[in-house]
């Protein structure tokens, strides 16, 4: 468009110059076209000189953009780091955004929770491939064994039992175990297994072979009833002797773990022997492989994976909590205020250096094309405006000449 306008005014100049007497209106048209050509060429030169040498001629102070690339990159990085990546500006925007409830509202939507869950499970699936590598498995195993070999786990065990016995929580654990045991012994499959074992034992006796099946069933019923009665007695009686023995046993362990040096040495010796045991190491390899197989088989189901479903539910629950729980929102904001400024301070200068290095790494042609294309239309309108403004200036000059 700019070039067409230049050619048009050049044609008008030639026609008026050689086919008219340049008097009256033709003089103004000729002056307009002559000055318009000057303006068009001048602005073409100016626009071109910003990005390259006009017509390839290395005129001084042209090709400014490629010549100043390093300096522009440095200034651009500094400008962004000093005027955009400041704690005050970023924190002000985060505070105005009310980020916690907005993040919660976003996570609650099933589609978004599914997207996040799928992204996490796909990432986990990618990591599993690396964890299956024998070198990675060996590295993890060696680091773990080396760490545990020099770790005094007796203090950790003592602290665990102290926390367990605080406010009687160990009794709650016992209640949970008793409930699970009651369900287990009442399971029909378990009852059949116990009856089968009793029958086999009774078959060893010549006189009881015929009665073995009946005795097995009878013995199973008696055994389960006795277990159920004992479990019920322990569950309903807070002062049951078994509970007292259970508490005494745990408290005795705590005292010995904290004060008995010989006992601690024996436990540490057992710990080291177990870690060096080839059977245990082989068991570790088997468990590691089976765990990876289970996780990978589940994750391969995609949206139907059990892990994905549980993770999606957890994400939605977290989102709902972020929306409804002021305490969690306050915690979220506190962590944000604690993390973001440190993150900005840490990466402000590296960000500026990265921008500078990225600009310098561009080839001159790539750098020029990127900038020129981003403002290309405006550059062409500069040329068009230069043509029109030059023509108007030509009319003014011609008018002044006539007046003089």
List, for residues 290-323, the tens digit of each pLDDT value: 777 777 777 777 667 777 788 888 888 888 888 8
- The pLDDT assigned to 216 comes to 47
Distance, CA of 328 to chain centre:
21
What burial class does residue 42 get, using C-beta atoms within 10 Å of its C-beta: 0-12 exposed, 13-18 middle, 19+ buried?
middle
Residue extents of the structural domains in the chain: 2-67+363-403, 82-97+327-361, 110-324
Residues 45 and 59 sit within 8 Å (Cβ to Cβ): no
- The pLDDT assigned to 366 comes to 80
Torsion angle of the four alpha carbons 121, 125, 131, 134, in this order, in degrees rounded to the nearest 10: 160
d(CA 246, CA 217): 32
Distances in Å between the Cα of 12 and the Cα atoms of 6, 7, 387 are 10, 9, 13
Q: What is the full per-residue pLDDT of the chain (404 aa) written as tens digits?
A: 989 999 999 999 999 999 998 888 999 999 999 999 999 999 999 888 888 888 888 888 888 888 888 888 888 888 887 777 777 777 777 777 777 888 888 888 888 888 888 888 877 777 777 766 777 777 777 777 777 666 667 777 777 777 767 777 767 777 777 777 777 766 777 666 766 666 666 555 544 444 445 554 555 566 666 766 677 777 777 777 777 787 788 778 777 777 777 877 777 777 777 777 777 767 767 777 777 777 777 777 766 777 778 888 888 888 888 888 888 888 888 888 888 888 888 888 888 888 888 887 778 888 788 888 888 788 889 999 999 999 999 999 999 999 99
Residues 387 and 5 sit within 8 Å (Cβ to Cβ): yes
Nearest to 37 by CA among 402, 376, 393, 401: 393
Q: Is the dihedral of CA 68, 70, 74, 77 positive or negative?
A: positive
Distances in Å between the Cα of 383 and the Cα atoms of 36, 63, 368 are 10, 18, 18
DSSP-assigned letter for residue 61: T
d(CA 16, CA 8): 12
Q: Which two tokens stand for residue 47?
A: 């626009």
- The pLDDT assigned to 211 comes to 47
341 φ/ψ angles, rounded to the nearest 5 degrees: -60, -40
d(CA 228, CA 236): 12
- The pLDDT assigned to 208 comes to 46
d(CA 63, CA 224): 94
Interior/surface letters 352-384, b for 16+ CB within 10 angstroms, e for the rest: beebbeebeebeeeebbeebbeeeeeebbebbb
Instruction: Provide DSSP, 199-260.
Output: HHHHHTSGGGTTTHHHHHHHHHHHHHHHHHHHHHHHHH-TT-HHHHHHHHHHHHHHHHHHH-
What burial class does residue 275 get, using C-beta atoms within 10 Å of its C-beta: 0-12 exposed, 13-18 middle, 19+ buried?
middle
- The pLDDT assigned to 217 comes to 55
* Stated pTM of the model: 0.42
Q: Which two tokens stand for residue 398?
A: 């011609």
- The pLDDT assigned to 200 comes to 62
């Amino acid at each position: 468009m700019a070039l067409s306008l230049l050619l048009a005014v050049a044609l008008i100049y030639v026609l008026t110059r050689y086919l008219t007497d340049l008097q009256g209106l033709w003089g103004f048209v000729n002056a307009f076209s002559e000055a318009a050509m000057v303006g068009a060429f001048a602005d073409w030169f100016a626009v071109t000189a910003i990005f390259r040498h006009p017509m390839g001629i290395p005129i001084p102070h042209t090709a400014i953009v490629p010549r100043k690339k390093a300096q522009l990159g440095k200034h651009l990085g500094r400008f962004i780091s000093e005027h955009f990546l400041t704690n005050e500006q970023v924190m002000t925007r985060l505070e105005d955004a009310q980020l916690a409830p907005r993040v919660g509202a976003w996570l609650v939507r099933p589609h978004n929770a599914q997207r996040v869950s799928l992204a996490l499970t796909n990432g986990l699936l990618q990591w599993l491939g690396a964890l299956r590598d024998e070198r990675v498995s060996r590295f993890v195993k060696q680091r773990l064994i080396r760490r545990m070999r020099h770790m005094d786990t007796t203090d950790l065990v003592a602290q665990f039992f102290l926390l367990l016995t605080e406010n009687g929580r160990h009794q709650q654990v016992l209640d949970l175990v008793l409930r699970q045991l009651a369900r287990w012994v009442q399971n029909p499959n378990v009852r059949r297994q116990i009856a089968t074992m009793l029958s086999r034992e009774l078959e060893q006796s010549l006189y009881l072979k015929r009665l073995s099946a009946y005795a097995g069933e009878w013995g199973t019923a008696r055994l389960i009833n006795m277990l159920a009665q004992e479990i019920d007695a322990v569950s309903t009686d807070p002062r049951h002797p078994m509970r007292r023995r259970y508490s005494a046993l745990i408290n005795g362990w705590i005292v010995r773990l904290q004060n008995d040096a010989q006992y601690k040495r024996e436990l540490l010796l057992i710990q080291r022997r177990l870690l060096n045991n080839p059977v245990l190491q082989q068991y570790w390899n088997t468990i590691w492989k089976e765990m990876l197989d289970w996780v990978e088989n589940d994750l391969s189901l995609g949206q139907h994976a059990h892990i994905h479903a549980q993770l999606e539910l957890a994400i939605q629950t977290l989102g709902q909590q972020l929306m409804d729980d002021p305490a969690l929102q306050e915690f979220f904001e506190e962590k944000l205020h604690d993390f973001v400024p440190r993150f900005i301070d840490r990466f402000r200068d590296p960000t500026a250096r990265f921008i500078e290095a990225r600009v310098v790494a561009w080839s001159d042609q790539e750098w020029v094309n990127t900038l020129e294309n981003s403002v290309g239309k405006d550059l062409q309108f500069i040329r068009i405006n230069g043509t029109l403004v030059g023509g108007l200036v030509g009319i003014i000059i011609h008018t002044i000449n006539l007046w003089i």
